[in-house]
Amino acid sequence: MNQYINKPTSAFIAASWVALIAGIAAYIIGLWNAQMPFNEKGYYLILILYGLFAAVSLQKIVRDKLEGIAVTSIYFGLCWASIIICAFLLTIGLWNASLQLSEKGFYIMAFLLSLFGAVAVQKNIRDLDYLRTHSQTPKLPEFPNTDHNDDSQ
């Protein structure tokens, strides 16, 4: 790896988890309380799940490329396409939804906060795992005791 990985601070780790949990919770609570048919709620639920998966996959593949891990162009393209498709579907769904403008903005912001949180949490997990596996100090070889003085006599 060509770059130096800094250990994420506890504050950034906590903020990442809070962003992820707050974004998902707000989105799900908003869906639960929304006055829309179940099939529409299911559409928005699938979009958040698809978006989270796509964001984590994209973050992983970008990191793999940085670390010199072989990445196929088809998977890289699929990850980007998934993010774009997900954002497009959310935009189309909200554009055509019979929701107030403030509700539409709420869903957009909760969605984006969730994706940001997922990427940040994935990055932190990856950084901590890398540091844990690569920062183990090598053990010094143990040499046999060369002291031939025998004090027991």
pLDDT tens digit string along 7-22?
889 999 999 999 999 9
Instruction: Tell me the angle at which helices 38-66 and 10-33 cross, rounded to the nearest 10 degrees.
Output: 160
Distance CA 88, CA 118 (A): 19
pLDDT digits (tens, 9 = 90+) for 87-131: 999 999 999 998 899 999 999 999 999 999 999 999 999 889 888
**Domain range annotation of the chain:** 10-132
Q: Is 153 exposed, middle or buried (0-12, 13-18, 19+ CB in 10 A)?
A: exposed
Tell if the pTM clears 0.95, that is, is over it.
no
Q: Is 36 exposed, middle or buried (0-12, 13-18, 19+ CB in 10 A)?
A: middle
pLDDT at 149: 59
